[in-house]
Structures are given as structure tokens and as C-alpha cells.
Amino acid sequence: MHMPLEDTLGLNLAANQHQAEHNREHFDAWNLLCLNVMSSPGAGKTSLLERSLAALATDLSMAVLEGDMTTQLDADRLEAVGVPVVPITTGRACHLDASMVSGGVKLLRQRLDPAALDLLWVENVGNLVCPAEFEVGEHRKVALLSVTEGDDKPLKYPVMFREADCVLITKTDLLPYLPVEVERIEAHIRQVNPRCTVLRVSATSGEGLADWHRWVQDQLAEHRQSLAAAPALVTA
């Protein structure tokens, strides 16, 4: 007798949620902000992080958990920027889950004290569906959508954009060469999620990066204010 697929998925999500909450308790105890960065393959997550890590490193102490199915190519790119990076290879899994991130944090703790960090980046596996379903303990979700993907993705893959706290429309330097209207992309994002922040950015030209980095720093400040007002957490 086999359990229906939807029941199996529900059990997996429940177990994952329990671990995600445990991860978040640790992150809160360490007074750091965790950002889960998600997108389809090739939307520009790693290129964005290369620029953001370099720009924010003067003010913030950061580390990265880098998710990929098989290689450490992106992890190597980010390590070259000069921040600690832990690669997490998922094999055939199309997303990171909370247990994988917990394992990555254990490896990270062998290299540094997480309480010394301001920001922990989780670069998820490139996929527009699964990463949005599995929390990893993050405090904020960031979704990327490149202009090369067209304007209909928020409507066709609504879960990721509905869950996002910030949506970055990437590769805007290519807009002059594409038959796409960025205003339609923004309107479709707003249709799915009217509460999120939407920013246009280009890791190539630098457009919008200052606003994006300001958003990150604002989230960190807001998060630490909320922690200061909450009872102290003690974790094992």
C-alpha cells in the first residue's frame, strides 16, 4: 500500500518546517540575518552575489551557503570574492532543504563563529518551483527574475513570487535588445504579490545595486531591532 503523493509531500514539508524553525532559532541566537536567494537557472544569482558581497564587505561580516546539484563552480566564484563559502551539492534534488542548510552551517562553524556574522546568504539551487516550497530557516526570501525570461513567469510560477519579500528584475542592461516591457513584468509581480519590494538591477552595469544593498541593510537593521525587543534565545 502506497501513501498518496500529496500526503508524502505534506509529511516532508512538515518535517522540513520543523528543522527550518530550529535553524532560525540558531540564526536568531547568533543575531544574524539569513537571506534565501532563489531563481531559475541563469537568472544571475551568483553574478549578483559577486557584486553584493564585494560592495557590502566593508560594512558587514558575511558568509554564503552555496547550493548546486553537482559542481562547486559557483562556490569557487564567490570564495574568490573573499568571504567564507560552504558548497552544498544536492545530487538529484532540485532545491535546498532545511536539513541540508543545517549540515552546511555545521561545516561553517568549523571555520568561524556564526555569532560574528551579520549576514548569512543561502544561494538556492536554480529552480522556479521547489525552493519556494521548502523553507531553510531564512528571515527573508529574495527572488530573481531576469528580463530574458519574459513577463509571464510570475503568473506561471506564482508560488516563488508570492513568497518573496523582494523581487529583483535582473539583467536590465539587456532591455534595449529584447522585445519585453519591464513595466509588464512589474505589474505581473504586483498581481501575485502586492506587498513585496521590486527592484530593477544589473550586475553588469551596476544599475539598481545601491538600492538593493540599501534594502539588505534595512532588513538587517529591522531584524536586529525585532530581536532586541524579544526574549533572549538559548540554543544548543
Q: Is CATH 3.90.320.10 the right assignment for the domain spanning 5-228? A: no
The mean pLDDT of 100-121, rounded to a whole number, is 98
Helices (H), 66-148: 73-79, 98-109, 130-133
How wide is the angle at C-alpha 142 spanned by C-alphas 175 and 16, nearest 5°? 140
Distances from the Cα of 23 to the Cαs of 28, 68, 104, 157, in angstroms? 9, 20, 11, 27
pLDDT tens track for 204-218: 999 999 999 999 999
Q: Are 172 and 201 in contact (CB under 8 A)?
A: yes
Q: Are 169 and 182 in contact (CB under 8 A)?
A: yes
Task: Please report, as a single letter, which amino acid is at residue 106.
Answer: K
- For position 235, what pLDDT does the model report? 55
Selection from 229, 216, 202, 168 nearest residue 59 by Cα: 216
Scan for cell 530581536, then name that residue: 227
pLDDT tens track for 154-177: 999 999 999 999 999 999 999 999
The DSSP code sequence of 135-193 is --S-SEEEEEEEGGG-S-HHHHSHHHHHH-SEEEEE-GGGGGGSS--HHHHHHHHHHH-
Question: Residue 1 pLDDT more than 60?
Answer: no
- For position 231, what pLDDT does the model report? 72
pTM strictly above 0.85? yes
Q: Are 182 and 172 in contact (CB under 8 A)?
A: yes
Domain ranges, ordered by start, for the chain: 5-228
Indicate the DSSP class of residue 115: G
85-89 and 119-123 as β-strands: parallel, antiparallel, unpaired? unpaired
pLDDT tens track for 135-155: 999 999 999 999 999 999 999
Cα dihedral 114, 120, 122, 123 in deg (nearest 10) = -120
pLDDT tens track for 14-25: 999 999 999 999
Question: Residue 232 pLDDT more than 80?
Answer: no
Selection from 190, 126, 184 nearest residue 198 by Cα: 190
3-state secondary structure of 48: helix
Question: Residue 119 pLDDT more than 90?
Answer: yes
Q: Are 34 and 24 in contact (CB under 8 A)?
A: yes
Selection from 33, 9, 23, 12 nearest residue 103 by Cα: 23
pLDDT tens track for 32-80: 999 999 999 999 999 999 999 999 999 999 999 999 999 999 999 999 9
- For position 230, what pLDDT does the model report? 85
